[in-house]
């Protein structure tokens, strides 16, 4: 096995570990929201430093591979894709941290009726699922699975678009919940961005495997 092959294998392990760390952060922030578990929310916030440290390490490793080992063809595409995927994963980590911060700021548990009306819990589940799909597509080099992410992102977009109206209707009968409704609205906006980041990751997987650039092009 050449030095390039060794480094690329190690890089793949690193980015998968990053994926799992960010997935854990997203899952824990979800549980913290549903159960109003401030201790778990604090754990998510404290682990954000690990996410940032992992991003910096992967960036450096990608840069070293590009500078010292001059990969070409599929190896070059893989390295470039990991460099961008790494950034998208870090942003999802930021989103989990942001949700946890809202939980720490909230004074009381989120009203179950509010979460149901705005589909927040369902949206959270879908955001976690879409992140899992991107990892599976990357590991298996499954571009068909990667392409399913685009439609799932649109689904998250639709929930987000309806949130303002459903929140206003909820507040008409529950005006005392205005602060938690605003926190919930912010959480939904953040979850919509998970879909955006996942879509970017899917595009990079397709680029790496098929040598096709989808960014800024109309979807087929």
Structure tokens at 42: 């604090």
pLDDT in tens, 163-195: 999 999 999 999 999 999 999 999 999 999 999
Q: Name residue, tokens 């929140």.
A: 167
* 90 Rama class: left (phi>0) / alpha (psi -120 to 50) / beta: alpha
The contacts of residue 167 (CB under 8 Å, 6+ apart) are: 117, 118, 181, 184, 185
CA distance 166 to 154: 19
Angle at 89 between CA 159 and CA 42, to 5 degrees: 80
pLDDT in tens, 54-106: 999 999 999 999 999 999 999 999 999 999 999 999 999 999 999 999 999 99
Give the SS3 label for residue 207. Answer: helix
Angle at 184 between CA 183 and CA 188, to 5 degrees: 120
Structure tokens at 88: 């998208």
CA distance 124 to 35: 14
Q: So what's the pLDDT on residue 217?
A: 61
Residue 216: pLDDT band (50, 70, 90) is low
What are residue 57's phi and psi, to 5 degrees? Answer: -65, -45
Of 119, 81, 112, give the one whose Cα is nearest residue 215. Answer: 81
pLDDT at 220 over 60: no
pLDDT in tens, 191-207: 999 999 999 999 999 99
Of 111, 100, 96, 125, give the one whose Cα is nearest residue 167. Answer: 111
Q: State the helix-helix crossing angle for 120-140 and 3-35, rounded to 10 degrees.
A: 170
pLDDT at 219 over 50: no
- How far from 96 is each of 25, 43, 50, 106, 137, CA to CA, in Å? 6, 11, 13, 16, 22
CA distance 186 to 220: 32
Please name each of the domains of the chain with its CATH number: 3-210 (1.20.58.220)
pLDDT in tens, 108-163: 999 999 999 999 999 999 999 999 999 999 999 999 999 999 999 999 999 999 99
pTM of the predicted protein model: 0.94
DSSP conformational letter for 217: S
CA distance 48 to 139: 24
């Amino acid at each position: 096995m050449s030095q390039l092959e060794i480094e690329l294998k190690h890089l793949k392990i690193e980015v998968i570990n990053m994926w799992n760390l960010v997935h854990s952060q997203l899952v824990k922030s979800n549980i913290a929201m549903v159960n109003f578990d401030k201790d778990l929310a604090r754990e998510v916030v404290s682990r954000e430093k690990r996410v940032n440290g992992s991003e910096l390490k992967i960036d450096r490793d990608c840069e070293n591979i590009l500078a010292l080992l001059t990969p070409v063809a599929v190896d070059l595409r893989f390295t470039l894709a990991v460099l961008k995927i790494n950034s998208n994963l870090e942003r999802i980590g930021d989103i989990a941290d942001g949700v946890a911060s809202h939980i720490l700021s909230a004074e009381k548990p989120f009203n179950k009726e509010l979460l149901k009306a705005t589909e927040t819990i369902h949206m959270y589940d879908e955001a976690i699922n879409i992140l899992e799909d991107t990892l599976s597509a990357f590991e298996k080099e499954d571009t068909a699975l990667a392409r399913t992410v685009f439609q799932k992102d649109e689904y998250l977009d639709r929930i987000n678009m309806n949130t303002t109206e459903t929140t206003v209707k909820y507040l008409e009968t529950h005006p005392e919940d205005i602060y938690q409704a605003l926190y919930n609205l912010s959480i939904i906006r953040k979850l919509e961005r998970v879909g955006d980041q996942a879509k970017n990751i899917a595009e990079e997987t397709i680029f790496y495997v098929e040598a096709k650039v989808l960014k800024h092009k109309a979807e087929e």
